[in-house]
Amino acid sequence: MSAFGRVASRIALLAAVLALKPAPGVCKVEHARLWQAYANHFLSADGRVIDPQGGDRTTSEGQSYALFFSLVNNEPTRFETILKWTQANLAMGDLGTHLPAWSWGKGKDGQWGILDPNSASDSDMWIAYDLLEAGRLWSNPRYSNLGRKLVAQIARREVVTLPEVGAMLLPAPTGFRFPNAWIVNPSYLPVFVLDRLASIDPAGPWIGIAVNVPHLVETSSRAGFVMDWVSYTRAVGYAPSILAAPKSDGALGSYDAIRVYLWAGMLDEAHPAKSRLLKALFGMNAYLLNHSAPPEKVSATGQPEKQDAPVGFSAALLPYLRSIPDPDAATRQLERVESQVDEKTGLYGPVPIYYDENLTLFATGWSEKRFQFGINGQVLVTWGHP
C-alpha cells in the first residue's frame, strides 16, 4: 500500500471510530482489501482455513468466521466452498445431523483428519447464524433449513439449565459439567447471535440465555475485566474458573475474553444489554487511560500484566471504545493497529497471526459499516435487503 493509501485508509477508519461519516468508498475498500489478503494467506482453494501457528490445523471457529466474512462481502461461491469443506470434514457430511468437530489437522500417525470430535458451541452458533443470514440475504431456503437443524442440535446437546439462573450455553457437549459445577465461556455468548437464534426458534432457550449474559459478565468479572473461563456453582454463583484454566497461569482474562469487549461494542446502541455490559467492562477503558496497548493477560483478581497484547486485541477494542465513547483511547488503539500494516501481505503484524487477523476483520468491517447488527440480531449489510 502506498503512503497515500495508508493515510487515506487511516483517516477513513478513524472517522468511523469517531462516528463521523466515512469518506465515500474508502472504508469499503479497506475491509474488502483485508478480507482478500486474509483469504489469500489463510484460506485454501477447497475452503479450509489454515492456522499456520497451530500446525496448519483447522478449527470450526475459523470456518465459522470465514463463512461470516464471505457472507458480509457478498461472496456466495466462496461461502458454498467453505460450507462444503466444513460439512464434509468436520460434520460427517451433514451439519443437520452432526455438530462440527472443533479441531482438524495432522495426527500423530501422520494422517489428516479430526483431532478432537468434541464441538465448540460458539462456532456451532456462528455457523448456524451464518446459514440463517445467508438464507435470508441470498433467498436460499437450503441454507435456512440447514441452519434451523443446526440450531436444534445446539439446543439439545449444548444447553443446560443452571440452578437459580436458567438456560445457559456450555462450551461443548462434553467436558464442562461436573457434579456441583458448570464451566462457561463469556466470549462464546455474543448477544446478537443469541437474539437472532431466538427470532427463528422462539420456543428455544436462546432468549433466556441472552437475558442471562449481562448478569454472567457483571458477576464474574474482576475490577472491570472479564475472564476467559467462568465456573458456576449452586448457591455461590459465577467466579473465575480454575478448572478450565491453564495450570501455569490460573484463571485469566486473555485471548478468549477479548472477544467479549468486541461483541459488546458491536451490539446495537438501543439494545438493553449493551449499557450493562459496557458498565461491567469498565476496567479495560480505565487501563487504557494510562497505557498505549491493552494487556495480554489479566489475573483472576483483575490485575493486568505489564506485557502488551498483540495487535488484534487493539483492533477488537475499537467498537467497545467507540461505544463508551472514548475518542482518545480509540484513536490511540487505531494508531497502533494501522502502524502494523504489512505492505507486502496486506495483513497486520510482521508475521500474520490467524486470530489477530480475524479480530481485525470484525473490527474494521463493523467500524466501516460494512456490516452492523440490528436490534434483533440480524446482520445489516449495504448490499442486501433488511
Burial class (CB in 10 A: 0-12, 13-18, 19+), 28: middle
Q: Would the pLDDT of 25 be above 90?
A: no
Residue 131 makes CB contacts below 8 A (sequence gap 6+) with 67, 83, 95, 143, 144, 146, 147, 150
Tell which phi-psi region holds residue 166, choosing left (phi > 0), alpha (psi between -120 and 50) or beta. left
CA distance 115 to 36: 28
**Order of all β-strands in the sheet with 103-106:** 58-59, 103-106, 112-116
Q: What is the mean pLDDT of the chain?
A: 91
Continuous segment of H or E residues that includes residue 58: strand 58-59
Q: Would the pLDDT of 26 be above 60?
A: no
Range name among 64-68, 170-174, 176-180 with the lowest pLDDT average = 176-180
Which three cell numbers, joined as nine digits, stand for 138?
Answer: 441470498
DSSP at 21: P
Catalytic residue among 122, 296, 338, 368: 122
Residue 263 near residue 192, CB atoms below 8 Å = yes
Backbone angles phi, psi at 347, to 5 degrees: -110, 180
CA distance 102 to 104: 7
CA distance 153 to 35: 30
CA distance 129 to 111: 32
Catalytic residue among 30, 51, 61, 201: 61
Per-residue pLDDT reduced to its tens digit, 241-281: 977 656 667 789 999 999 999 999 999 999 999 999 999 99
- Of 110, 112, 58, 105, the C-alpha closest to 86 is 58
Catalytic status, residue 61: yes
Q: Would the pLDDT of 176 be above 50?
A: yes
Burial class (CB in 10 A: 0-12, 13-18, 19+), 161: exposed
Q: Would the pLDDT of 101 be above 60?
A: yes
Per-residue pLDDT reduced to its tens digit, 316-360: 999 999 999 988 999 999 999 999 999 899 999 889 999 999 999
Continuous segment of H or E residues that includes residue 168: strand 166-169
Is the N-terminal amide bond of 325 cis, ω within 30° of 0?
yes
Q: Would the pLDDT of 24 be above 70?
A: no
CA distance 267 to 195: 11
CA distance 54 to 371: 29
Catalytic status, residue 30: no
Q: Domain locations in the chain?
A: 158-308
Residue 176 near residue 170, CB atoms below 8 Å = yes
CATH architecture of 158-308: Alpha/alpha barrel (1.50)
